Chains A and B, each alone.
Chain A
Amino acid sequence: MSDTNPTSDTTPAARRPRVVVFDYGSGNVHSAVKALEKAGADVTLSGDFTEAMAADGLFVPGVGAFDAVMAALESSGGARIIDKRITGGKPVLGVCVGLQVMFDRGTERGVETEGLGQWPGSITELPAEVVPHMGWNTVRVPKNSRLFRGLEDERFYFVHSYAAQEWLLDVIPPFTEPALTWADHGVPFLAAIENGPLTATQFHPEKSGEAGITLLRNWLDTLPLPE
């Protein structure tokens, strides 16, 4: 990575955070790359193990069916990368199905698929009158959120039919209490989770206009930037 880090006299803290958007054939990654760049990151689209492990932050997109996303994460090595990064305390941001696969399992159209199991619980269909939940919704931001700083009253763009509708993880000190942001569509569901190195949003920050760019910037601000 040294070739992308010019040898200048800038202090390490001043450099742009390096983010890899994990490339494993999942839908529209173009927007994620551009939005992260606009938020201030030095972005690479890559499915390479070394690059993904070395990044300051790893962005995991996810569009489509839970089972298809899981199959692609397994075959591309993404599942292993995500696990190794989180175990090592290195930040990961999962978006949309990239949030959903962090849970134990997902059930879509009667098919149950094992997830990455970073969090306990299941992804299930939203019992709402109109599904997919599509459009700009409000969120309920907890006081300990860093991700939503300054964005408490903003709307974000959601498009999904399934969601995490309960939170089952008991956090025992000295571990920090996660910041859980909820939204409502028929029932309450998790719109975002900030849990140590693992952050995830059900909505698409890269499609949420200025609010989304600010949220990505907030995430970049949390990334440790070792020299």
Chain B
Amino acid sequence: MTLATRVIPCLDVANGRVVKGVNFQNLRDQGDPVELAANYAAQGADEITFLDVTATVDGRATTYDVVTRTAEQVFVPLTVGGGVRSAEDVARLLGCGADKIGVNSAAIARPELIGEIADRFGAQVVVLSLDITREASAPSGFVVTTHGGRTKTELDALAWATDAINRGAGELLVNSIDADGTRDGFDLELIRAIRAISHVPVIASGGAGALEHFAPAVQAGADAVLAASVFHTGAFTIDQVKLALADEGIEVRR
């Protein structure tokens, strides 16, 4: 296998500024997304992900501007998620220079959205973002949550992921709500369970707190690893993560 495992920093963006909260709450400002994205690309980030956590319409306009300015100077793939509700939203973000679009709550509310985007722009554009928590009563032991993990649904996580792939999702961003913000490591059981049902690439997210947390996620089946605050706070660099992966015999781009 010669395909490199991707290391992806995620920037939560609200009103044109980067924020990152612990467990998606207590947001605090951590800088200019365009500058941060360029910095990460220079550090060796294999992709950049923007998660738009803006609530207002005015705020969303700033997101389009951020995406446009980022795409003008950052020549690695750019994924944008958060608040995407229609194929028209997708068209606009792609027009600004995004390469892939994350969909989450809107696809849960109306699963046809996945097919509408995939038919028009290709499956490779559709990243299904899954915020997952453990729930013993669910068939797989995992359910999907909405509202940044605050609301549990009755949707079984593996059943939903399978359905979404069949509808045209080209990639899964698997975020463990239980692990998110803990810095105790990825939920490896969850990654294994998703890998077992997914032939599309899987991005592992949630829980990275130490360099040695990344390789187990890849060994559990992740094609890419995503983290936010550990990069933003300077706890470690993209390249340190890649070195840690390479030390475990995992191929990376350096």
Chain A residues packing against B (C-beta within 8 Å): 27-28, 30-31, 34-35, 38, 63-65, 68, 129-138, 155, 157, 159-161, 183-185, 204, 206-210, 212-213
Let me know if A28 and B98 touch, CB within 8 A: yes
Residues of A contacting B124 in the complex (Cβ-Cβ under 8 angstroms): 63, 132, 134, 159-161
Residues of B contacting A129 in the complex (Cβ-Cβ under 8 angstroms): 199
CA distance A196 to B60 in the complex (A): 46
**A27 → chain B closest CB, angstroms:** 6
Query: Is B10 interfacial (CB-CB < 8 Å)?
Result: no
Residues of A contacting B76 in the complex (Cβ-Cβ under 8 angstroms): 157, 207-209
What string of 1s and 0s marks CB contacts (under 8 Å) between B99-135 and chain A? 1000000000000000000011111110000000000
**B158 → chain A closest CB, angstroms:** 17
Across chains A and B, the number of contacting residue pairs, with CB separation under 8 Å, is 102
Known: A136-B253, A207-B76, A212-B75. A131 touches B97 (CB 8 A): no
CB contact list, B11-67 vs A, under 8 A: 41, 46
Known: A34-B71, A38-B75. A28 touches B94 (CB 8 A): yes
CA distance A207 to B124 in the complex (A): 14
Known: A34-B71, A136-B3. A28 touches B200 (CB 8 A): no
- Minimal Cβ-Cβ distance residue in A for B5: A135
Known: A30-B68, A136-B46. A130 touches B120 (CB 8 A): no
- Minimal Cβ-Cβ distance residue in B for A213: B75
Let me know if A136 and B4 touch, CB within 8 A: yes
Known: A31-B97, A64-B120, A207-B75. A134 touches B171 (CB 8 A): yes
Query: Is B155 interfacial (CB-CB < 8 Å)?
Result: no
Residues of A contacting B68 in the complex (Cβ-Cβ under 8 angstroms): 30
**A47 → chain B closest CB, angstroms:** 15
Let me know if B3 and A30 touch, CB within 8 A: no
CA distance A155 to B254 in the complex (A): 9
Q: Give the contacting residue for B223; candidates A28, A134, A184, A209; CB below 8 A.
A: A134
CA distance A204 to B2 in the complex (A): 17
Query: Is B181 interfacial (CB-CB < 8 Å)?
Result: no
Query: In this complex, which of A35, A134, A184 has the most chain B Cβ atoms within 10 angstroms of its Cβ?
Result: A134
Query: In this complex, which of B4, B5, B77, B200 has the most chain A Cβ atoms within 10 angstroms of its Cβ?
Result: B77
CA distance A157 to B228 in the complex (A): 22
Q: Give the contacting residue for A130; candidates B97, B119, B123, B200; CB below 8 A.
A: B200
Let me know if B2 and A157 touch, CB within 8 A: no
Q: List 6 A-B contacts (CB under 8 A).
A: A30-B95, A30-B96, A68-B120, A159-B124, A207-B76, A213-B75
Residues of A contacting B223 in the complex (Cβ-Cβ under 8 angstroms): 130, 134-135
Q: A132-B124, A157-B77 are in contact. List 10 more A-B contacts (CB 8 A).
A: A27-B94, A34-B71, A63-B121, A131-B200, A132-B123, A134-B171, A157-B76, A159-B124, A204-B77, A210-B75
Query: In this complex, which of A28, A157, A207, A210 has the most chain B Cβ atoms within 10 angstroms of its Cβ?
Result: A28
Query: Is B232 interfacial (CB-CB < 8 Å)?
Result: no
Q: Give the contacting residue for A132; candidates B4, B41, B98, B170; CB below 8 A.
A: B170
Let me know if B75 and A35 touch, CB within 8 A: yes
Known: A34-B72, A65-B122, A155-B253. A137 touches B4 (CB 8 A): yes
Let me know if B97 and A28 touch, CB within 8 A: yes
**B112 → chain A closest CB, angstroms:** 18
